[in-house]
């Protein structure tokens, strides 16, 4: 199986003001003259991790990564104002324009797959290819599955219990709204307690075998606050999409080379999401692997590396 490329440090990083509130952290790695790719992290609100740079051959790719509004090293942290899907799509265009890139590969997983689809459907002429992992279409049924008492709560009942116990019994019929009230409380301790319960639930659901370090990372105040607050803001409004929008607008991107990669046992984003997308987009290549949700799962790493190498091979062959 393919492994991540070696660890790499950015050759360029900067803060990019995008409006009167938000300033984005942006970095570039790899080959400054290579094939451009933009990496889209999950959440929304999860932020970047160093291993995100390692899905791409550093000799062949100019790797662009950024922390989305309110996440990671972007400021202000966990900010909800002026923070929607369409703000993030516009931010990607600002980054592309700032870096002088004509077209780039769009690579994203989980929420990153959602944002990748939204961006490509808005700016298809700017996209050379799409590599999407852990497909999430932000539909009401997907949000109910994981954040309300849907199927995930039955499969991971022991991990669900602390998430549910953070909310009084009488409020559990609408978990998203109950958490939203606490995540936007005027009391900092209330916000943090809710965020850590949310982050622990999500972090404990990412992999087939529980990864204590990953759970701890998602429950840490820095990650949990931005993840929980921004996810709740986006998901209670269904990602700011019209019903069925990402499936209905596939015709806008049908011509773009695309790889869809999904874990068979993904609890956060069930594999049905990928099948639903592939059904309306048969031109895309769908690969279902024996894994859970996280990009770090070995079978998912293998599939993603093969996809990024294949895209580079295709572009090189076309140029030749």
Catalytic site residue from 67, 211, 249, 266: 266
Active site residue 293: yes
Q: In what order do the strands lie in the sheet with 258-263?
A: 12-17, 23-30, 61-66, 35-40, 104-109, 127-133, 258-263, 285-289
Length of the chain as a residue count? 320
- Which of 205, 293, 302, 311 is catalytic? The answer is 293
DSSP letter (8 states) at residue 241: P
216 to each of 28, 133, 199, 236, 290, how far by Cα in Å?
A: 28, 23, 9, 25, 24
Catalytic: 158? no
Name the pairing type of β-strands 12-17 and 23-30.
antiparallel
Task: Report residue 101 as tokens.
Answer: 């890139």
User: Quick one: tokens of 44?
Assistant: 């929304």
Task: Please state at what angle helix 175-183 crosses helix 188-203, rounded to 10 degrees.
Answer: 140
- In the residue annotation, 211 being an active-site residue is answered as no
Catalytically annotated residue among 22, 41, 110, 226 = 110
Strand partners, 39: 65, 107
Query: Would you name the residues annotated as active-site residues?
Result: 110, 266, 293
């Amino acid at each position: 199986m393919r492994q991540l490329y070696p660890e790499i440090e950015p050759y360029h990083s900067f803060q990019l003001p995008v409006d009167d509130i938000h300033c984005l952290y942006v970095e570039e790695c790899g080959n400054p003259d290579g094939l451009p790719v933009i990496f889209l992290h999950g959440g929304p609100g999860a932020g970047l991790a160093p291993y995100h740079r390692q899905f791409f051959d550093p000799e062949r790719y100019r790797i662009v990564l950024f922390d989305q509004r309110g996440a990671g090293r972007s400021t202000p942290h966990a900010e909800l104002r002026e923070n929607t899907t369409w703000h993030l799509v516009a931010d990607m265009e600002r980054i592309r324009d700032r870096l002088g890139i004509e077209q780039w590969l769009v690579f994203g997983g989980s929420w990153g797959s959602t944002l990748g689809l939204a961006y490509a459907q808005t700016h298809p002429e700017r996209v050379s290819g799409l590599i999407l992992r852990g497909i999430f279409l932000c539909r009401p049924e997907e949000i109910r599955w994981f954040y309300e008492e849907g199927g995930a709560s039955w499969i991971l009942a022991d991990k669900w219990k602390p998430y549910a116990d953070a909310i009084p019994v009488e409020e559990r019929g609408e978990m998203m709204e109950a958490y939203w009230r606490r995540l936007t409380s005027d009391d900092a301790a209330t916000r943090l307690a809710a965020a850590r319960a949310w982050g622990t639930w999500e972090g404990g659901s990412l992999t087939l075998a529980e990864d204590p370090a990953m759970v701890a990372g998602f429950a840490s105040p820095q990650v949990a606050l931005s993840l929980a607050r921004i996810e709740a803001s986006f998901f209670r409004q269904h990602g700011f999409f019209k019903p069925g929008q990402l499936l209905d607008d596939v015709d806008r991107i049908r011509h773009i080379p695309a790889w869809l990669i999904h874990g068979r046992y993904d609890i956060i984003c069930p594999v049905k999401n990928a099948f639903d997308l592939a059904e309306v987009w048969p031109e895309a290549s769908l690969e279902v692997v024996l894994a859970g949700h996280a990009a770090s799962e070995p079978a998912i790493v293998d599939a993603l590396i093969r996809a990024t190498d294949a895209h580079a091979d295709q572009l090189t062959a076309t140029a030749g």
